[in-house]
């Protein structure tokens, strides 16, 4: 069963596992995002070129198409979730600073309610995003600029990098380290989310929605939207209206 939450997260499955001595699988490859964190105990992990040991307070995130290797180093209870989202979680391992908030989130999972689980996963992602952006002022400035100017069809990452005093390659590397995706992919995600909102909440033409989402034409928006969501804008509008 799929659960939609705030139009930004689709929960594809989850597991709240009691204490055990090993994972059922030592690795797995996922079509969508996945999140794994220990409630007690610890485990080693490897995602891409990132590896380490996860303990309480660590959240391991594997991006779509990625492979997550894991092995328990002590008996561990854990939370695992698979989901699709427009929030762009930071791939790899993030250390949560607000442990009290993490404990509150995890205690909510005991209800085994899908809306609650979707809420918890969303909040965990937002916590990781805020922490990552705070650690890198350049990425924070770049993220703010993208959110403020995504409607411009002439958006230039070269000009943005120059304004920040770094090279385009440095911007891409640092941005990816924080958000888990490139600046180009992040911008596309923001634009497509705006298009989704307008398709659902307004009766505007596709051309008007394209302009308000940062695309020059309805044709180009339709092509990008279909390629990245699997639905045409018109099909999405029909299926999302209540």
pLDDT digits (tens, 9 = 90+) for 35-86: 999 999 999 999 887 889 999 999 999 988 889 999 999 999 999 999 988 7
* Overall average pLDDT of the 150-156 stretch: 94
What pLDDT was estimated at residue 111?
73
Name the percent of the chain lying above pLDDT 70: 93
Q: 184, 175, 185, 179: which is closest to 91 by C-alpha?
A: 179
Three-state SS string across 189-239, please? Answer: HHHHHHHHHHHHHCCCCHHHHHHHHCCCCHHHHHHHHHHHHCCCHHHHHHH
Residue position matching structure tokens 């994972």: 23
> How many H-runs (helices) and E-runs (strands) does the chain carry?
9, 8
Q: Lowest-pLDDT range, 90-94, 104-108, 237-241?
A: 237-241
What pLDDT was estimated at residue 221?
96
pLDDT exceeds 70 at position 158: yes
Give kind and range of the element (H or E) at residue 188.
helix 183-201
Residue position matching structure tokens 């090279």: 167
State the chain's mean pLDDT as an integer: 88
- Per-residue pLDDT tens digits for 166-216: 999 989 988 887 776 789 988 998 999 899 989 988 999 999 999 999 999
* Overall average pLDDT of the 118-123 stretch: 90
Question: Dmax over Cα atoms in the chain, in whole Å?
Answer: 57
């Amino acid at each position: 069963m799929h659960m939609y939450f705030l139009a930004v997260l689709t929960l594809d499955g989850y597991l709240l596992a009691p204490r055990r001595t090993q994972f059922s699988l030592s690795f797995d490859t996922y079509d969508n995002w996945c999140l794994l964190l220990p409630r007690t105990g610890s485990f080693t992990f490897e995602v891409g070129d990132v590896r380490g040991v996860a303990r309480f307070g660590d959240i391991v995130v594997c991006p779509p198409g990625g492979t997550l290797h894991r092995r328990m180093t002590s008996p561990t209870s854990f939370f695992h979730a698979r989901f699709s989202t427009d929030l762009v979680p930071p791939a790899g391992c993030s250390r949560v600073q607000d442990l009290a908030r993490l404990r509150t989130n995890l205690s909510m999972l005991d209800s085994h309610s899908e809306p609650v689980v979707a809420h918890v996963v969303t909040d965990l992602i937002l916590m990781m995003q805020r922490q990552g952006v705070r650690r890198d002022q350049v990425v924070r400035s770049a993220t703010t600029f993208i959110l403020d100017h995504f409607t411009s069809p002439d958006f230039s990452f070269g000009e943005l990098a120059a304004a920040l005093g770094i090279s385009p390659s440095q911007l891409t590397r640092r941005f990816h380290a924080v958000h888990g995706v490139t600046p180009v992919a992040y911008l596309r995600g923001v634009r497509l989310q705006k298009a989704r909102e307008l398709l659902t909440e307004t009766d505007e033409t596709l051309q008007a929605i394209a302009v308000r989402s940062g695309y020059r034409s309805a044709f180009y928006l339709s092509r990008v939207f279909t390629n990245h969501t699997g639905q045409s804008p018109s099909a999405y509008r029909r299926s999302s209206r209540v």
